Amino acid sequence: MKHDYQERKQNRITRALELARKKEQESDQLYDHANKMASVIPMGQPILVGHHSEKRDRRYRSRIHNTFGKAFKSAEQAEYYREKAQIIESNDAISSDDPEAISKLEDKLAHLSAHHAFMKAANKCVRKHDMAAFLQLDGASEELWKELHDENGNPVGFPHYRLPYAKAEMKRIETRIALLKRYDGQENEETEKGGVRILRNVVANRVQIFFPSKPDEETRTRLKKAGFRWCRRESAWQRQLSSWAEWQAKDFLPAG
């Protein structure tokens, strides 16, 4: 099985664009159909209240209205899928599936660490009213010095919550790096019992469950509640690799 992060990302973009194209085409067809329906009603023709045609006319106009509504809804869905494709393409979040995830996270950690140290040093300079020392810091400027003071020139510094928040974010990234390194270089591991196979797929960064046949509805509900999703490409129920995911997967092995 091939597990290429960039290929999967491009497939998601292609799929979103294809859905956008279909919805746009659907919207055009519905809009044209609604226009044709409306064209048979003479311009300015009112509903003839009390006439035998009143109910039929109201139903017909309602169908026109509903068809236009469907056209506009499809157009909105097309725009949604176009935006989704753009978001996927421009997303700079670091996925654990990315083969360069560790190096990217380490770069991000280094940046956060440097910024955290800068905020601490800057606040110290601000408290001491030492602009000269502040301007010696990498990234400092006279404009930023002004921003770290209120309109009366009183020292404010970076908000008190920024430092602990940055520290917590650094800790979170360190934990992610440690977890990724734990699995990096490991081999796939497989467990099978009663025809059900569990694969720790470190290449795909997934825990995968293979059933000999389609699970019953109750089992499928349990799988979804446990965070597993059906992947047609792999013919497996899977979720992102973690110790907890591996532990949960074992619940689906037959008893005995």
**Closest C-alpha among 5, 14, 7 to residue 85:** 14
pLDDT at 92: 63
157: its two tokens: 């510094």
**What does the pLDDT read at residue 2?**
40
Q: Cβ(94)–Cβ(101) under 8 Å?
A: yes
pTM for the model: 0.51
pLDDT at 254: 87
pLDDT tens-digit series, residues 76-94: 888 888 888 877 776 666 7
CA distance 125 to 155: 10
Inter-residue contact 157 to 146 (CB < 8 Å):
no
Angstrom distance (rounded) from CA 231 to CA 191:
19
Could you tell me which of 3, 70, 82 has the C-alpha nearest to residue 31?
Answer: 70
pLDDT at 137: 96
Residue 110 has a CB neighbour count (10 Å cut-off) of 12
Q: What angle do CA 167, 172, 177 make, to 5 degrees?
A: 125
Distance of CA 84 to the CA centre of its chain: 9
State residue 210's pLDDT score.
95
Tokens of 118: 């800068």
166-193 burial by CB neighbour count: b if 16+ within 10 A, else e? beeebeebeebbeebeeeeeeeeeeeee
Which residues of the chain are under the pLDDT cut of 70?
1-5, 90-93, 96-97, 185, 256
**What's the confidence (pLDDT) of residue 5?**
66
Per-residue 3-state assignment (H helix, E strand, C coil) for the chain: CCCCHHHHHHHHHHHHHHHHHHHHHHHHHHHHHHHHHHHCCCCCCCCCCCCCCHHHHHHHHHHHHHHHHHHHHHHHHHHHHHHHHHHHHHCCCCCCCCCCHHHHHHHHHHHHHHHHHHHHHHHHHHHCCCHHHHHCCCCCCHHHHHHCECCCCCECCCCCCHHHHHHHHHHHHHHHHHHHHHHCCCCCEEEEECCEEEEEECCCCEEEEECCCCCCHHHHHHHHHCCCEEECCCCEEEEECCHHHHHHHHHHCCCC
β-partners of residue 209 are 198, 237
Say what the pLDDT of residue 1 is.
Answer: 41
* Tokens 């790096």, located at residue: 177
